[in-house]
């Protein structure tokens, strides 16, 4: 059967590339293994060729998938599910990695490119390193296969047609030759998740996955070292890759934070969500591994733990990929992927690369060099070791808390071995839980960052302490000032402010005064300063964030006061130190913007417009709006708005009618008296024969009296222009009553009136949350410095090595 | 004692503290009945929204009242003193963290799962 308009050629091409990628990577791994075993150089060349074929095939898969997406060929399930024709061009890229298949592909293509570079640069390490890289690539490529062996599903292909989905097979429309033209459902795709339609989501995933992909390099070098029995020298070629990874992954993680801050509305840049944690933890251990590798390079005294930390980093990358893709987090995270039924395959992938390297590490442990003497307390290597252990503990804490759903699966009431009587749910106060436990680690690490660079390998002359005095005293002073200025009360926070300042100042001092601004150390100094500024910025902006929208209404002791504020349209509400007015809403494309005006006491005004993205297919999402100052951000988002009631927001309710003569009065709405006074007639023009009115303006003067005293004069107007009748209603604002002069009755001097009462409960309102984040720019500045500092350090090291090689 | 031993000992102690703290902070997954047996103790109940009952959100108090059914089919009134989440009615499953009192379940945190937000193959395009 030939379906009309399908592009099955591309499906076949894509599948062909996937199969080629799988076969070539397997072949490459085997060829490299054979080269290691036999020493036959020709097999190395075969392995290299096979790997390059593999890399080109992966690139081919990427090109085909992009072709499908750019052309909006909705017969493809992936295209239908993740894109739509109304998407701006740059978001097509986000569609690419919205699904699991695409994100596997993104990971695989980075690793393929890195592997290619390794075939050029790894020299004598090539076989050992590429053996691991191509094995990893083999497992990753099979994730894209989408074939069934018996009832076992291997991988999930992005090239499946909608009509080929298991749930559609056998349905009548599948028999239609022209289903693409005939069924309206295929004219438009499901579209991209509205939350992903954000600039950060175009660059965050590729950066993050490049960071993940880079961790395979030290992993591969470590395994190669273990295989070859060279337990220390593998660190030298691996180090530049590690710190490239630290820079890229660090920036990638914080880009995710920037996206969350701009597009999500949980009120901050970090929420310790399992998915965020899963990306942070490998970065922490990668930093630890990198520092241990420097110890190993200089001293060969940390062989075992260096190898372990390096392997662990990649294990954690695999584990985080398992957590986010297996559906295990379903109950505890809002943004994990949905289970594609690949958990088994993921576990196998994970297990393979844990079991074999771990086995190798244990078997070889006895052969590692033993250092006869202990490191001295004033040596750089000892404190680098302590710092790495601290980072490891910090990573362990985050991993353990994040893994509660996994622990449930293992020993929960419905798990394998039901040890627990009730399943464990994530900590309720996630921020308090993680922040509380992480702060001591941050404290130790920041002190080590402050002091560490002053220490020399082996042993440091004691005068280094004297060098630290100025920055130490200055940080105490500045820390005290900041704590006082921001009214910080938590002792741990104050200490951490001081230690992070200490680290910043001591590194700057070291570089400027003792290294005399030598560019040789610029990268390291920048990265260290950047890292502690991230800590400082996070601490101040989170620790001293202030909800200025606080609803103090007392309901019951069970319900604490609320961090949301009711804004009624047009009313001015106090939100100290601002006055806020909700001026109205407007629709812009898919978004309903809620315009807020913030007025400060000094007569300065700014506007914010948080919005709700209306997406019928995927659900509506609120997105924040933030006013940035150099020293603080004012962040707002709509927490409640009645979208559906739009157009039905008439505040005038309870209509009544009354017929009155001049001078008469009537009781209206139980508590008011409406008194007719006089009628004024203006501009009366009649047709020549006097039978019809051409134009007429009438003003009815009334008084609205309250039973308790006090009256309000009202004027309602009635006018005729040709055959058009128009009304100008009289509104008594204070009383909330509207009067319309509806008609003149036939009887002389009798008027028909319509009245409405304002119904306050129907007055349109929204709820907003407004948070002030002080000094959040310190965090963003720090992350930039940290990322670029790490990369700069790599460039400088490579340049130095090259120079050394030239001189030798 | 060698310094490495001291470090190892410290590591073990810290790990123990961390694990215990995690178990301390973690809440548990329960049903409404279990939650009522341990009143005022925080736990997490997963359930679904009963759409046939009224869902009331009062703006003066910012209090949301709705009815939920847990996995065992128990039905309870739930109070939540935060704004009604956008698209609340469309949720497929709600995870409520809070505690039971004499008359109702007081939710402090609500996590909704919307079926369509993440592509899951459930909404296929063509069902003519």
Could you tell me which chain B residue has the CA closest to the CA of A331? B95
**A contacts of B107 (beta carbons < 8 Å):** none
Q: Is A185 on the interface with B (CB under 8 A)?
A: yes
Size of chain A, expressed as the number of residues it contains? 808
**Mean pLDDT value of segment A502-528:** 90
Interchain proximity B86–A621, CB inside 8 Å: yes
Nearest-neighbour CA in chain B from A344: distance (Å): 18
Closest among B36, B54, B57, B53 to B45, alpha carbons compared: B36
**A contacts of B44 (beta carbons < 8 Å):** 425, 428
pLDDT of A340 reads 67
**Mean pLDDT value of segment A209-234:** 96
pLDDT of A372 reads 65
**Mean pLDDT value of segment A88-105:** 89
> At A150, phi and psi to the nearest 5?
65, -125
Interchain proximity A393–B14, CB inside 8 Å: yes
pLDDT of A762 reads 64
Interchain proximity B90–A619, CB inside 8 Å: yes
A564 → closest Cβ in B25, B62, B109:
B62
Q: Is A411 on the interface with B (CB under 8 A)?
A: no
The Cα A413–Cα A614 span in angstroms is 40
The yes-or-no verdict on residue A274 having pLDDT over 90 is no
The Cα A382–Cα A51 span in angstroms is 41
Query: What is the pLDDT confidence band of residue A647, given thresholds at 50, 70 and 90?
Result: very low
A401 → closest Cβ in B22, B43, B116:
B22
The Cα B59–Cα A762 span in angstroms is 11
Instruction: For residue A519, say if its preceding peptide bond is cis, omega within 30 degrees of 0.
Output: no
Lowest mean pLDDT among A19-23, A219-223, A314-318, A424-428: A424-428
The SS3 of residue A476 is helix
Interchain proximity A179–B126, CB inside 8 Å: yes
Could you tell me which chain B residue has the CA closest to the CA of A432? B25
Q: Is A621 on the interface with B (CB under 8 A)?
A: yes
The yes-or-no verdict on residue A75 having pLDDT over 50 is yes
Q: Which H or E run contains A753?
A: strand A750-758
CA atoms within 13 A on the CB side of A341: 12
Q: Among all chains, which residue has been given the structure tokens 């309901």?
A: A555
Q: Which residues contact A85 (CB under 8 A, 6 or more apart)?
A: A72, A188, A189
The yes-or-no verdict on residue A375 having pLDDT over 60 is yes
Specify the higher pLDDT residue, A59 or A343. Answer: A59
pLDDT of A285 reads 97
Nearest-neighbour CA in chain A from B114: distance (Å): 8
Nearest-neighbour CA in chain B from A185: distance (Å): 5
The yes-or-no verdict on residue B122 having pLDDT over 60 is no
Nearest-neighbour CA in chain A from B83: distance (Å): 6
Interchain proximity A338–B119, CB inside 8 Å: yes
pLDDT of A53 reads 97
SS (H, E, C) A541-579: HHHCCEECCCECCCCCCCCCCECCEEEEECCEEEECCEE
pLDDT of B114 reads 64
**Tokens at residue A679, please?**
């009628």
pLDDT of A106 reads 95
**Tokens at residue B57, please?**
């959100």
**Probe site for chain B from A80, A558, A639 (most B CB atoms < 10 A):** A558
DSSP 8-state assignment for residue A512 = I
Query: What is the pLDDT confidence band of residue B123, given thresholds at 50, 70 and 90?
Result: very low
Closest among A210, A54, A209 to A119, alpha carbons compared: A54
Closest among A372, A374, A386, A375 to A459, alpha carbons compared: A375
The SS3 of residue B112 is strand
Do A697 and A723 touch, CB atoms closer than 8 A?
A: no
Q: Which residues contact A730 (CB under 8 A, 6 or more apart)?
A: A702, A714, A715, A716, A738, A739, A740, A741
Give rounded-to-5 percent helix, strand, coil for chain B.
25, 35, 40
Interchain proximity B118–A173, CB inside 8 Å: no
Mean pLDDT for all residues in chain A = 88
**Mean pLDDT value of segment A378-392:** 94
The yes-or-no verdict on residue A332 having pLDDT over 70 is no
**Tokens at residue A477, please?**
């002073």
Do A160 and B122 touch, CB atoms closer than 8 A?
A: no
Nearest-neighbour CA in chain B from A553: distance (Å): 6
Interchain proximity A558–B101, CB inside 8 Å: yes
Q: Is A264 on the interface with B (CB under 8 A)?
A: no
The yes-or-no verdict on residue B127 having pLDDT over 50 is no
pLDDT of B116 reads 45
Query: What is the pLDDT confidence band of residue A240, given thresholds at 50, 70 and 90?
Result: very high
Query: What is the pLDDT confidence band of residue A760, given thresholds at 50, 70 and 90?
Result: low
- Beta-bridge partners for B113: B93
**B contacts of A612 (beta carbons < 8 Å):** 86
Q: Nearest 5°: CA angle at A311, between A394 and A255?
A: 55
Nearest-neighbour CA in chain A from B100: distance (Å): 11
Q: Which residues contact A462 (CB under 8 A, 6 or more apart)?
A: A378
Can you say whether the dihedral through the CA atoms of B27, B33, B39, B40 is positive or negative?
A: positive
Interchain proximity A386–B81, CB inside 8 Å: no
Q: Is A186 on the interface with B (CB under 8 A)?
A: yes
The yes-or-no verdict on residue B11 having pLDDT over 60 is yes
Q: Which H or E run contains A769?
A: strand A765-774
Rg (C-alpha) for chain A, rounded Å, is 35
Nearest-neighbour CA in chain B from A75: distance (Å): 10
Q: Which residues contact A423 (CB under 8 A, 6 or more apart)?
A: A408, A412, A413, A414, B28, B29
Do A722 and A711 touch, CB atoms closer than 8 A?
A: no
The Cα A307–Cα A232 span in angstroms is 9
**Probe site for chain A from B86, B95, B103, B105 (most A CB atoms < 10 A):** B86
The Cα A111–Cα A57 span in angstroms is 13
Specify the higher pLDDT residue, A339 or A326. Answer: A326
Q: Is A427 on the interface with B (CB under 8 A)?
A: yes
pLDDT of A352 reads 95
The yes-or-no verdict on residue A645 having pLDDT over 60 is no
Could you tell me which chain B residue has the CA closest to the CA of A167? B124
> At A702, phi and psi to the nearest 5?
-135, 170
Interchain proximity B18–A179, CB inside 8 Å: no
User: Alpha helices of A175-234 — where are they, by DSSP H?
Assistant: 179-182, 199-214, 216-228
**B contacts of A639 (beta carbons < 8 Å):** 82-83
pTM of this prediction? 0.86
**Mean pLDDT value of segment A666-682:** 85
CA distances from A307 to A122, A235, A248, A652, B73 (A): 19, 9, 22, 74, 52
Query: What is the pLDDT confidence band of residue A648, given thresholds at 50, 70 and 90?
Result: very low
The yes-or-no verdict on residue A499 having pLDDT over 80 is yes
**Mean pLDDT value of segment A501-525:** 90
CA atoms within 13 A on the CB side of A716: 28
Interchain proximity A618–B18, CB inside 8 Å: no
Do A301 and A381 touch, CB atoms closer than 8 A?
A: yes
**B contacts of A383 (beta carbons < 8 Å):** none
Could you tell me which chain A residue has the CA closest to the CA of B109? A428
pLDDT of A338 reads 58
Nearest-neighbour CA in chain B from A743: distance (Å): 39
Interchain proximity B109–A428, CB inside 8 Å: yes
Query: What is the pLDDT confidence band of residue A250, given thresholds at 50, 70 and 90?
Result: very high
Query: What is the pLDDT confidence band of residue A195, given thresholds at 50, 70 and 90?
Result: confident
The Cα A233–Cα A243 span in angstroms is 17
Share of chain A above pLDDT 70, in %: 95
**Mean pLDDT value of segment A74-92:** 89
Could you tell me which chain B residue has the CA closest to the CA of A174? B126
pLDDT of A343 reads 80
Q: Is A564 on the interface with B (CB under 8 A)?
A: yes
Do A742 and A753 touch, CB atoms closer than 8 A?
A: yes
Interchain proximity B119–A82, CB inside 8 Å: yes
Closest among A558, A557, A575 to A566, alpha carbons compared: A575
The Cα A2–Cα A79 span in angstroms is 21
Query: What is the pLDDT confidence band of residue B1, given thresholds at 50, 70 and 90?
Result: low
**Probe site for chain A from B35, B61, B125 (most A CB atoms < 10 A):** B125
pLDDT of A554 reads 67
Per DSSP bridges, beta strands A737-744 and A730-732 are: antiparallel
Q: Is A376 on the interface with B (CB under 8 A)?
A: no
Q: Nearest 5°: CA angle at A523, between A519 and A528?
A: 130
The yes-or-no verdict on residue A646 having pLDDT over 60 is no
**B contacts of A401 (beta carbons < 8 Å):** 22, 25-26
Q: Nearest 5°: CA angle at A395, between A776 and A266?
A: 40
pLDDT of B120 reads 37
pLDDT digits (tens, 9 = 90+) for B32-48: 888 888 887 888 898 99
Q: Which residues contact A361 (CB under 8 A, 6 or more apart)?
A: A226, A304, A307, A308, A311
CA distances from A124 to A224, A389, A799 (A): 11, 32, 20
**Tokens at residue A556, please?**
């019951």
The yes-or-no verdict on residue A415 having pLDDT over 90 is no
Nearest-neighbour CA in chain A from B84: distance (Å): 6
CA distances from B55 to A522, A554, B64, B78 (A): 60, 21, 7, 10
The Cα A780–Cα A537 span in angstroms is 8
Q: Nearest 5°: CA angle at A628, between A627 and A631?
A: 135
Interchain proximity A433–B87, CB inside 8 Å: no
**B contacts of A193 (beta carbons < 8 Å):** 117-119
**B contacts of A335 (beta carbons < 8 Å):** 118
pLDDT of A13 reads 96
Do A693 and A684 touch, CB atoms closer than 8 A?
A: yes
Could you tell me which chain B residue has the CA closest to the CA of A642? B86
Query: What is the pLDDT confidence band of residue A131, given thresholds at 50, 70 and 90?
Result: very high
Q: Nearest 5°: CA angle at B15, between A359 and A378?
A: 90
The yes-or-no verdict on residue B125 having pLDDT over 50 is no
Interchain proximity B79–A559, CB inside 8 Å: yes
Ordered domains of chain B (ranges, CATH): 26-113 (2.40.50.140)
Query: What is the pLDDT confidence band of residue A1, given thresholds at 50, 70 and 90?
Result: confident
Nearest-neighbour CA in chain A from B36: distance (Å): 14
Lowest mean pLDDT among A272-286, A357-371, A631-645, B62-76: A631-645
Lowest mean pLDDT among A402-411, A648-657, A749-758: A648-657
Closest among A78, A82, A144 to A107, alpha carbons compared: A144
Q: Which H or E run contains A807?
A: helix A776-807
The Cα A171–Cα A140 span in angstroms is 33
The yes-or-no verdict on residue B119 having pLDDT over 50 is no
Specify the higher pLDDT residue, A616 or A298. Answer: A298
Interchain proximity B43–A425, CB inside 8 Å: yes
DSSP calls for A658-721: EEEETT-EEEETTTEEEEEEEEEEEEEEE-TTSSSEEEEEEEEEEEEEETTS-EEEEEEEEEEE
How many Cβ atoms are within 10 Å of A9's Cβ, its own excluded? Answer: 9
What ipTM was estimated for this complex? 0.85
């Amino acid at each position: 059967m030939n379906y009309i308009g399908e592009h099955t050629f591309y499906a076949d091409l894509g599948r062909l590339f996937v199969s080629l990628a799988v076969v070539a990577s397997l072949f490459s791994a085997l060829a490299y293994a054979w080269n290691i075993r036999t020493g036959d150089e020709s097999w190395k060349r075969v392995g290299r060729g096979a790997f390059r074929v593999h890399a080109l095939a992966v690139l081919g898969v990427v090109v085909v998938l992009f072709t499908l997406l750019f052309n909006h060929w909705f017969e493809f399930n992936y295209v239908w599910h993740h894109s739509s024709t109304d998407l701006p061009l740059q978001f097509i890229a986000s569609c690419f990695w919205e699904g699991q298949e695409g994100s596997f592909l993104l990971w695989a293509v980075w690793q393929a490119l890195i592997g290619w570079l390794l075939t050029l640069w790894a020299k004598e390490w090539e076989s050992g390193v590429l053996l691991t890289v191509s094995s990893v690539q083999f497992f990753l490529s099979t994730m894209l296969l989408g074939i069934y062996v018996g009832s076992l599903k291997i991988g999930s292909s992005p090239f499946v047609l909608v009509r080929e989905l298991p749930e559609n097979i056998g349905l009548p429309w599948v028999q239609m030759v022209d289903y693409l033209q005939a069924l309206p459902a295929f004219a438009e795709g499901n579209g991209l998740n509205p939350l992903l339609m954000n600039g950060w989501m175009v660059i965050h995933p590729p950066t993050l996955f490049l960071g993940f992909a880079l961790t395979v390099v030290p992993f591969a070098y470590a395994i190669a070292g273990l295989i070859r029995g060279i337990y220390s020298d593998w660190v030298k070629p691996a180090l530049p890759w590690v710190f490239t990874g630290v820079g890229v992954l660090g920036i990638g993680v914080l880009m995710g934070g920037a996206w969350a801050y701009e597009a999500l509305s949980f009120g901050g840049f970090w929420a310790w969500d399992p998915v965020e944690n899963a990306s942070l933890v490998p970065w922490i251990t990668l930093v630890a591994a990198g520092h241990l590798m420097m110890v190993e390079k200089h001293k060969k005294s940390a062989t075992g733990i260096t190898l372990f930390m390096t392997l662990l980093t990649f294990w954690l990358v695999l584990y985080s990929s398992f957590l986010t893709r297996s559906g295990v987090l379903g109950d505890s995270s809002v943004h994990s992927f949905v289970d594609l039924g690949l958990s088994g395959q993921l576990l196998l992938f994970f297990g393979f690369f844990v079991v074999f390297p771990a086995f190798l590490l244990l078997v070889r442990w006895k052969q590692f060099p033993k250092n006869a003497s202990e490191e001295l307390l004033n040596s750089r290597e000892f404190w680098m070791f302590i710092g790495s252990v601290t980072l490891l503990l910090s990573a362990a804490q985050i991993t353990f808390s994040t893994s509660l759903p996994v622990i449930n699966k293992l020993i929960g009431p419905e798990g394998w071995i039901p040890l627990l009587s009730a399943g464990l749910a994530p900590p309720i106060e996630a921020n308090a839980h993680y922040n509380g436990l992480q702060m001591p680690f941050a404290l130790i690490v920041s002190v080590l960052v402050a002091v560490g660079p002053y220490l020399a390998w082996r042993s440091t002359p004691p005068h280094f302490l004297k060098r630290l005095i100025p920055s130490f005293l200055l940080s105490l002073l500045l820390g005290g000032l900041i704590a006082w200025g921001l009214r910080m009360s938590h002792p741990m926070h104050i200490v951490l402010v001081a230690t992070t300042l200490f680290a910043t100042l001591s590194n700057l001092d070291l570089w400027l005064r003792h290294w005399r601004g030598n560019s040789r150390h610029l990268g390291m100094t920048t990265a260290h300063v950047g890292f502690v500024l991230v800590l400082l910025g996070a601490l101040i902006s989170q620790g001293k964030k202030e909800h200025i929208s606080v609803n103090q209404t007392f309901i019951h002791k069970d319900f604490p006061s609320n961090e949301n504020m009711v804004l009624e349209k047009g009313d001015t509400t106090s939100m100290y130190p601002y006055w806020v007015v909700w001026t109205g809403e407007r629709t812009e494309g898919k978004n309903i913007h809620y315009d807020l005006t913030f007025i400060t006491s000094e007569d300065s005004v700014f506007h914010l417009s948080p919005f709700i993205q209306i997406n019928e297919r995927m659900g509506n999402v609120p997105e924040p709006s933030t006013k940035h100052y150099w020293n603080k951000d004012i962040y707002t988002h709509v927490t409640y708005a009645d979208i559906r009631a739009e157009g039905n927001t008439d505040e005038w309710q309870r209509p009544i009618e009354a017929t009155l003569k001049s001078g008469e009065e009537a009781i209206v709405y139980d508590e008011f008296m409406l008194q007719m006074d006089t009628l004024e007639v203006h501009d009366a023009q009649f047709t020549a024969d006097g039978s019809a009115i051409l134009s007429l303006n009438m003003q009815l003067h009334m008084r609205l009296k309250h039973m308790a005293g006090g009256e309000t004069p009202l004027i309602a107007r009635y006018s005729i222009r040709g055959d058009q009748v128009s009304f100008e209603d009289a509104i008594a604002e204070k009383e909330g009553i509207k009067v319309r002069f509806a008609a003149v009755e036939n009887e002389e001097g009798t008027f028909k009136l319509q009245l409405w009462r304002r119904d306050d409960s129907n007055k349109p309102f929204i709820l907003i949350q407004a948070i002030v984040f002080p000094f959040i720019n310190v965090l963003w500045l720090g992350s930039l410095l940290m990322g670029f500092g790490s990369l700069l350090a790599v460039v400088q090291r490579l340049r130095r090595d090259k120079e050394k090689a030239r001189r030798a | 004692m060698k310094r490495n031993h001291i470090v190892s000992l410290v590591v073990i102690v810290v790990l123990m503290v961390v694990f215990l703290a995690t178990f301390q902070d973690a809440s548990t997954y329960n049903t409404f009945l279990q939650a009522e047996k341990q009143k005022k103790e925080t736990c997490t109940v997963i359930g679904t929204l009963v759409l046939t009952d009224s869902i009331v959100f009062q703006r003066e108090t910012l209090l949301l009242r709705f009815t939920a059914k847990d996995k065992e089919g128990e039905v309870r009134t739930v109070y939540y003193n935060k704004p009604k989440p956008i698209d609340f009615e469309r949720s497929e499953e709600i995870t409520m963290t809070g505690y039971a009192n004499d008359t109702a379940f007081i939710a402090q945190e609500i996590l909704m799962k919307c079926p369509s937000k993440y592509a899951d193959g459930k909404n296929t395009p063509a069902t003519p």
